[in-house]
A and B are shown apart, each in its own frame.
Chain A
Amino acid sequence: MNAPINAPINILGRLLRSPAGVAGLALLALLALAALSAPLLFPGDPLAIAGAPLTPPFTDPAFPLGTDRLGRNVLAGLFHGAQASLAVGLAAAAVSIVAGALVGTIAGFAGGLADEALMRVVDAFQTVPGFLLALAFVSVAGASLPVVILAIALGAWTGPARLARAEVLSIRERDYVAAARVIGMHPAEIALREVLPNALPPVLALAAVIVGNAVLIESALSFLGLGDPNIVTWGSMIAEGRNVLRSAPFLSIVPGIGLVVTVLGVYLLAEGLSDALASRKARP
């Protein structure tokens, strides 16, 4: 009974001992801070005109990173953009993992024809490029934040589904599942209360990678003008700066650095997490 309670704390301890994990956590904490402080430091609409257009960076103390073509504060956009990127990344990963884990668990547990049919659907989703799928979905449903989140999840749920199914297949033959069956638990109850929690750790390691990908896909959608037009995102800032790429390249380059830092933070955290999980496995 001890193991399930202590396991998360142990993993966290090992995570804090891996340099990659610490670096990832630090970067993400910084971004979360920027996202949370955005409404306090830069109240008002970051899409509103704030000053003279195309102020170069480091020239005007009111606009440390300058202004864009329409005179909007780049630094304010950067802070508010962190909100959008983190929110979309986390929400898309949450939706795809819950949906994928559910489908994978059902498929693995049901077996037979239902399993076969569900896995063919997973195959079909994996055959279509996730970005094309997101593009098509946004074009049908109209660009808004929830639609973008769903569109990204549409291409990302198959990974967790496959993983959860494989875990279930290896777990369902174990003794504690047989024991639960013997005491008369309903198959659905066994699936949700016994099998799913045990299949979760590797799914969580996959989660970080999905978050990183989701941030990148969101930025690409915004870059193509398919993001929510009412909020500022780093992708839309890059697209806006692209119009003056020759005269003011910083307008496109600065928000891109924000993207790189975010995704790198997520990947570093994933690496630290997989190290922590691997060392758990190595020491039985």
Chain B
Amino acid sequence: MPLSRKVFKMKKLFLYSIVLFGCTLMSCGDDEVPVGTTSEVTLNFTANYGTNMLDSDTQTTHDFEEESTVRFTEFRFFISDVVFTTEEGTDETALIEIDEIDFSRSNMDAKYIRSVPTGKYSGIKFFIGVEAEFNNTKPEEYASEHPLANTASYWLAWNSYIHCKLEGFLDNGTANEIPFSYHTGSDDLLRSVTIPYNITLAADGSFDLDIMVDVEKILYKNDTYWNIEEFPATHNPSNPDDLNTANYIMDNLSEAFKIQ
């Protein structure tokens, strides 16, 4: 190859390099996250009853006390202010503002994919229910796609969103199944959940976090099952029995989560 042509080719290569470098600089504008500072996190909520998958759609029955069984027709609850925590406890990384998780159709309903800054986290924290800031609002204030727009999840008697709905039937061998419907609402019944878990997010990596809620733990505490037959519903906040039941349900629910 003649020298002049070689020189021309090198000049061309140099020019291309400049253009390429310029393009790279331009693509790192203020609006974009620099490559390598985030990791993709998948949060997946599932529901079990003990060691079995909860499947309210197929009318599956689960063992309850003695010879009786329960089956669930509806299980849904709100989560709000979901964050990753750090050991220092000062810096929280927001993941989900608010959503309603609904296991009425299938065991694996809620999957969230988030881009999270890399680093070390000490666990996950969230509220079960609708935080007061939102609980003072009403469904008609939201667009239909918003999780708070669902009128079926708002209850006038509580003047509140329904933090959790657990409905189904108890079969204790008598002629008819006994229906139960636990609806909990009001600011006092909001519960906080913190699950310690060491999480290290590497640059450009991905991380799956499976959070399982055990429905049996909602109805079982201190070696005793909840007396569904005597307390089958919680609809009226001014009724002491209803309020006691609602507290029982929410306390147990807040302790029923674990990372798998």
Q: Do A and B bind each other?
A: no
Q: Spell out B's residues near A (CB within 8 Å).
A: none
